[in-house]
Every structure is written in C-alpha cells, then in structure tokens.
Amino acid sequence: MSFAPPDPSAAIRLANDPAFAADATVAVADVSVWFGPKVALSELSCSFGPGVTGLLGPNGAGKTTLMRAITGLVGVNQGNVRVDGRDPRRDRRVHDTMALVPEDEAVPPGLSARRFVEYVADLHGVRARNAPDEALRTVDLLDVADRRVDAFSKGMRQRCKIAAALVSDPRVLVLDEPLNGADPVQRVQLIALFKRLGAEGRTVIVSSHVLNEVERLAQRVIVLIHGRLAAAGGHHAIRDAMDDRPRHVFVRADDGRSLAALLVALESVAGVTFDVARGGLVVQTGQARELATALPGLARDSSIRLLEVRALDDSLESLFRELVR
C-alpha cells in the first residue's frame, strides 16, 4: 500500500521532494515527539519505500525516536505514522509484517540463540519449523545457536537480534545502528545482507551516524538533526554537500614553513595557519578534493616529507552544521 497524499497538488510536491519515497510503505506525516521539555522529533515528514533507506544523524538527532515511532514503541504527540496504512500504536497486525532490530545490547537472559529466535518465531506464528535455524544461518550464528545469547559479544548479540527480526520474513525492517560491534568481515556480510533484503522489495530502514557506512548501504538517505529533517536524497547529494563546504585540514610536515608558502599559492586553499600546539599547519579549503590531489605532488616536488594529513572537521556533526546553517 502506498502513502496517498490528500490532494493532487500535494502529490506533485511529494513526488519532487526527496524526503518522500515514490511507493511508500512507511509514511511519517508532520510528526512531533517530546519527552517532557525535550523535543525529540519536530514536525518531521518523510516516507520510506522498498529498498534500503539510510537514516543519518549525529547522536541525539532523533533517529532512534523516529524508529520507535515507526514501530509503535512510542506514541507521537503530534502528526501520525502509518505502516501499510495502519497506525503501529493501535493496530497490532502491523507487527505481522514489520520487525525492529534495536540498538540496545539488551537480550533476554537465560536463553540460547536458538530458543530466542524460536520464541520470536512462535510469537509471529511462523509455521516453518526450520525458519529459526535458517535465520541463524543467514547471520552466520548457526554454529553457536545453542550458546546463551546473553553471553555473546556485542556483535554476536546484534546478529542474533537480526536473526530474530528476519525469522518472521518482514516486509518492513527497521534496523537501529545494526553494524555496531560487528567486525569488518561481519560488516561486509551484513551490508550485503541488508542490500539483498532491499533488492527483494522490502522496506529496509537503517540508522547510522557514520556517513561512509550509510553510503555503502543505502541508495537513499534521510538526514536528521535536532529532530528535524536536515536533508534527503541520494548519498551522492549528501556527499557533494559535504565536499563543497569549507573544510579544515591538518598537515604536519618536516618543513612546515616552506609547505605553508607553497600551499597559500594554491587556488584550492583559502588560508593557512600554524597550529603551534600540534606542530603543524591548518589548511582551510573549499575544494577538499583538489587539495587532496595537489598536496602529495607539491610535497614531492619540493622534497618536503608529509608526516600527517587529516581532516579536522570531517565528522557528521560538521556536515550537519553546514546543512542547517
């Protein structure tokens, strides 16, 4: 079922708005959620459709609250959330087709991974007897299925929760920071799994505060900050926004003064300052890519040895600050 706007002009607006999916299964309309004086979500409108959508934002941006509102764990104070046209707070049938992988490490104590997944399968009325084992196999936990899940590492717990979410074969999958605690190999496997689930036509919503992670996962990204929609669209649009903004790059070299003189002559460099405390240069640039290309050649041609190059503000928070400026 698609999210149907009430009037044709709204339909045209929504079709052109990257915050809204063309064939939405999850619709968030003008939603506000507050906990006492703290506003977690403020008049947020967006929608999610088949495929993987990344929910990006710094800590405290409202990602988890949005996911809890979508799954019905918290009610909204204003606006409404619909999953397949149903209110997840009022209609428990929604949970037939939806699953959440929460960020919390908490898992039921005293249960083996198999019993835990079996419990969730029973709750969802899954009839296939081998479904729990298949779900555990999908996340590579079948070998340890009889070990207690509360004795698992963080990454294994996370995979076990993913298995519990997959066992009911949900059409809408909500994953809150699912890659937390996973090692690099597991990350690659889980990313491939989520992409496959999205390609199968499921609505997969994945939150993260790591842009690179979301980039590898999702075709579409929704950026939240302070509970508001900061940006939406393809990850290229988000990345371009990040590349085009002014940046500060820290450079440490064996001959900082000579390098500073060479750098100020570059078109891509807006300014250079000496950072005495850290023993290097802080280069301000509006064209990070050009600087990254030019810097090694410049150093090599002048026989200057580069000891350290790193972006000082290459965090998501700085991107968000830029987006909401």
Partner 1 sequence: MTVEVMVGRRRSRFVAIFLYTLRSCIPPKRWAAVLMPCAGALLFGLLARAVDDTRDVAFANVAAEGILSLMMPIAALIIGDAVLGAEVRGGTFHFTWLSPAPTWQIVLGRWLGGALVALVTIAPASAVAAVIAGSSSSAGPAFVAAAVGSVTYVALFIAIGCITQRTAVWSLAIVFLVERLLGAALTGIAQISPTWESRATFVGLLDDPPSRLVRNGIPQGWDAVIRLAIVTAVSLAIANWRLRHIKLSGASD
- The binding site for partner 1 (CB under 8 A) comprises 64, 68, 71-75, 89, 92-93, 95-96, 98-100, 102-111, 115-116, 118-131, 134, 164
Each as own residue / partner, the long-range contacts of residues 254-261 (CB below 8 Å, 24 or more positions apart, any chain) are 254/304, 254/305, 254/307, 255/302, 255/304, 255/305, 256/280, 256/281, 258/302, 258/304, 259/298, 259/299, 259/302, 259/304
Minimum distance from residue 276 beta carbon to partner 1 (Å): 40
Minimum distance from residue 68 beta carbon to partner 1 (Å): 7
For partner 1, which is the closer residue by CB, 180 or 219? 180
User: To the nearest 10°, the Cα dihedral for 4, 31, 222, 87?
Assistant: -50
Within a 10 A sphere around the Cβ of 248, how many other Cβ atoms? 18
Minimum distance from residue 75 beta carbon to partner 1 (Å): 7
User: Of 136, 106, 110, which Cα lies nearest the Cα of 121?
Assistant: 136
Q: Which two tokens stand for residue 35?
A: 């906990």
Alpha-carbon gap, residue 319 to 245, rounded angstroms? 8
> What DSSP character marks residue 209?
S
For partner 1, which is the closer residue by CB, 9 or 130? 130
Minimum distance from residue 172 beta carbon to partner 1 (Å): 12
Minimum distance from residue 3 beta carbon to partner 1 (Å): 22
User: Of 154, 241, 169, which Cα lies nearest the Cα of 200?
Assistant: 169
For partner 1, which is the closer residue by CB, 174 or 231? 174
Alpha-carbon gap, residue 279 to 281, rounded angstroms? 7
Residue 219, SS3? coil
Minimum distance from residue 109 beta carbon to partner 1 (Å): 5
For partner 1, which is the closer residue by CB, 180 or 284? 180
> What DSSP character marks residue 166?
H
> What DSSP character marks residue 174?
E
Minimum distance from residue 126 beta carbon to partner 1 (Å): 6
For partner 1, which is the closer residue by CB, 91 or 322? 91
Q: Which two tokens stand for residue 113?
A: 């991974």
For partner 1, which is the closer residue by CB, 200 or 240? 200
Minimum distance from residue 42 beta carbon to partner 1 (Å): 18
For partner 1, which is the closer residue by CB, 82 or 235? 82
The residue type found at 143 is D
Give kind and range of the element (H or E) at residue 175: strand 172-176
Could you give the C-alpha distances from 224 to 20, 47, 56, 256, in angstroms and in order?
14, 13, 6, 39
Alpha-carbon gap, residue 239 to 319, rounded angstroms? 9
For partner 1, which is the closer residue by CB, 25 or 71? 71
Residues in the chain: 325
Minimum distance from residue 46 beta carbon to partner 1 (Å): 21
For partner 1, which is the closer residue by CB, 21 or 107? 107
Q: Are the C-beta atoms of 85 and 1 separated by less than 8 Å? A: yes
